[in-house]
Amino acid sequence: MNYDIIIAGGGVIGGMVARELSKYNLSVCILEKQNDVAMGASKANSGIIHGGYDPEPNTLKAKMNSRGVELLYKAAKELNVPFKQNGSMICAFGKAEESEVHNLYNRGIENNIKEMRIISGDEARKIEPALSDEVSLVLYVPTAGIICPYKLTIAAIGNAMDNGVELIRNFEICNIKKNDSGFIITSTNGQEVSAKYLINCAGCHGDKVAKLAGDGEFEIIPRAGEYLLLDKAEGSTVSHTIFQVPSANGKGILVTPTADGNLLTGPTAAVVESADNNEITPEGIKTVIDLAKRSVPEIQFSKVITSFAGVRSSEKNGDFIIEASKKVEGLVNVAAIDSPGLTSCVAIAEYVTEILKNMGVTLNAKENWVGNRADTEAFNHMTDDEKDAFIKQNPAYGKIVCRCESITEGEIRAAVRQNPKALDMDGVKRRTRSGMGRCQGGFCSPYVMRIIAEENGIKMEDVTKKGGASKMVVGRM
């Protein structure tokens, strides 16, 4: 197939770029090497909408972050992705660390961040009682928020697909040929696509994709961050996102409620050999627990329901790389998007579109573009009477499949059918939260397997956890 534009990578950046481009009369295709979208850093990060005080002034990070916050809130509303503007607190523990609070405040002013203020530890504890008594000074950023990063990615790509963008999964790029009319891209499993323009949003593999296209200008440093996620019963331990100021002890660990109501602690930051190195380590778990308790001593780590690690892509210069390749015509690199990449994603998409325009891409707006995506959680938000009426029309919504999160068969089937379709167990989990509760799929996985098999017309034996060889069962008796 030939397209105007190919986006390499179905993460939050590729997804937002795709959604932005879906507004125009262009043929666009996303290539994703995994069986689902949001499989890299987009599924395993802090889910924070950063205030914007942190990046060095005048960097791309500073610009994208400060513009990104508002754009992201707007996009999240259109896409019906749950988020909350819960505010963040950046905490200093004692005199030695307090100067850093002032530094961050001043940086925030330079970055044009509004509503920030510095408050004492006691003031902070009035609005966040679980905060440690050791916290002496706090930078309070009310504009910061939390959002579910993988739901955002899925919704952005789903919305882009609703507007005509194509998604090819299990397309691991192994060769890129450049000729006068553009790029010919082949995958390890023998598929081939071509396009005039290539936007490299390949996350931790961004340097590899750039090299394959003939551009070897940068190198991605993969950095793993481990997290511990706690039961929803602990979700109200804190209401704000609690950071620690960077100190001799490192960048610190955050403690935050998630947009879905759990409590999240992490991440560590260890440079790892490869982007696939998302393993949980004993050291990582210990670091998270020890440092999180420094901010919030009463966290009940016995209520951890899962641990996970995400690998972020960074680069030696510390800034985002968002530019038309200087060496390869038609290639745009969007690389080294580590924190605050999630916050910046819509601003980045807007910026990439501007770059494409400058490269000569004609942007004719579609007349029938729809920016809204159906609320996949609509049922969950109904009153009991509304649910009753809805179930009478749609009986599958009366069958609870995931008891921990109260997810119904109707919701799961809808998620499997909606763009981008869920093809595997983890895909259903990220779309519906089925299996994401305290039993971690113990009860519901046999039911979910059956729904996936039915909806996708495959055998139970072919249902996978996450594509490839990750089969759930090995045979029929």
Partner 1 sequence: MLKCDIAIIGGGPAGMAAACAAYDAGVKDVIVFDREDEMGGILRQCIHNGFGLHKLGKELTGPEYAAVYANMVKERGIKVYTNTTVLKLSNDKVVTATNTDGILKIKAKAVILAMGCRERSRGALNICGTRPAGIYSAGTAQKLINCEGYMVGKRVVILGSGDIGLIMARRMSLQGAKVEAVCEIMSYSGGLTRNIVQCLEDYNIPLYLSTTVAEIHGRERLEGVTIAEVDANRQPIESTKRYIPCDTLLLSCGLIPENELTTGAGIKIDRITSGAVVDQNRQTEIEGIFACGNVLQVHDLVDYVSDEAEIAGKGAAEYVMGNKTSGEVIVTKAGNGVRYVLPQRIVKNDESVSLFLRVTKPFGKVKFTVKSGDEVLATAIRLKAAPGEMEKLTVKAEKMAFAEKEITVELEEV
Residues that bind partner 1 (CB under 8 A): 228-229, 233, 276, 278-282, 285, 304-308, 384-385, 387-389, 391-392, 395-396, 398-400, 403-404, 406, 408, 425, 438-443, 445-446, 460-461, 464-477
Is residue 294 a contact partner of residue 116, using CB atoms and an 8 Å limit? no
CB of 473 vs partner 1, minimal distance in Å: 4
> Rounded to an integer, what distance in angstroms lies between the CA atom of residue 295 and that of residue 333?
38
Closest among 356, 370, 425, 298 to 26, alpha carbons compared: 356
CB of 389 vs partner 1, minimal distance in Å: 8
CB of 278 vs partner 1, minimal distance in Å: 7
Residues in contact with 392: Cβ distance below 8 Å, sequence separation at least 6, in sequence order: none
**DSSP codes, 290-325:** HHHHHH-TT--GGGEEEEEEEEEEE-TT-S-EEEE-
> Rounded to an integer, what distance in angstroms lies between the CA atom of residue 203 and that of residue 9?
7
Closer by beta carbon to partner 1, 218 or else 443 = 443
CB of 445 vs partner 1, minimal distance in Å: 6
CB of 447 vs partner 1, minimal distance in Å: 10
CB of 39 vs partner 1, minimal distance in Å: 12
**DSSP codes, 90-154:** EEE-SHHHHHHHHHHHHHHHHTT--S-EEEEHHHHHHH-TTS-TT--EEEEETT-EEE-HHHHHH
Distances in Å between the Cα of 61 and the Cα atoms of 58, 112, 342, 348 are 8, 13, 11, 10
CB of 396 vs partner 1, minimal distance in Å: 7
> Rounded to an integer, what distance in angstroms lies between the CA atom of residue 369 and that of residue 373?
11
Active site residues: 50
What tokens were used for 1?
Answer: 């197939």
- Is 453 exposed, middle or buried (CB count within 10 Å of its CB: 0-12, 13-18, 19+)? middle
First to last CA, the chain: 42
Q: Beta-carbon neighbour count of residue 112 at 10 Å? A: 12
In a 3-state reduction of DSSP, which class is residue 157? Answer: helix
**Residue reference for tokens 């990063």:** 149
> Rounded to an integer, what distance in angstroms lies between the CA atom of residue 363 and that of residue 93?
51
Closer by beta carbon to partner 1, 62 or else 304 = 304
CB of 275 vs partner 1, minimal distance in Å: 12
- Is 117 exposed, middle or buried (CB count within 10 Å of its CB: 0-12, 13-18, 19+)? exposed
Strands 263-266 and 221-230: antiparallel
Closer by beta carbon to partner 1, 57 or else 398 = 398
Closer by beta carbon to partner 1, 117 or else 286 = 286
Closer by beta carbon to partner 1, 271 or else 473 = 473
What tokens were used for 438?
Answer: 């305290």
Q: Beta-carbon neighbour count of residue 279 at 10 Å? A: 11
Closer by beta carbon to partner 1, 127 or else 233 = 233
Closest among 382, 327, 330, 335 to 356, alpha carbons compared: 330
Closer by beta carbon to partner 1, 39 or else 352 = 39
CB of 452 vs partner 1, minimal distance in Å: 13
> Rounded to an integer, what distance in angstroms lies between the CA atom of residue 150 and that of residue 432?
11
Closer by beta carbon to partner 1, 169 or else 240 = 169
Closer by beta carbon to partner 1, 73 or else 447 = 447
Closest among 317, 354, 324 to 338, alpha carbons compared: 317
- Is 126 exposed, middle or buried (CB count within 10 Å of its CB: 0-12, 13-18, 19+)? exposed
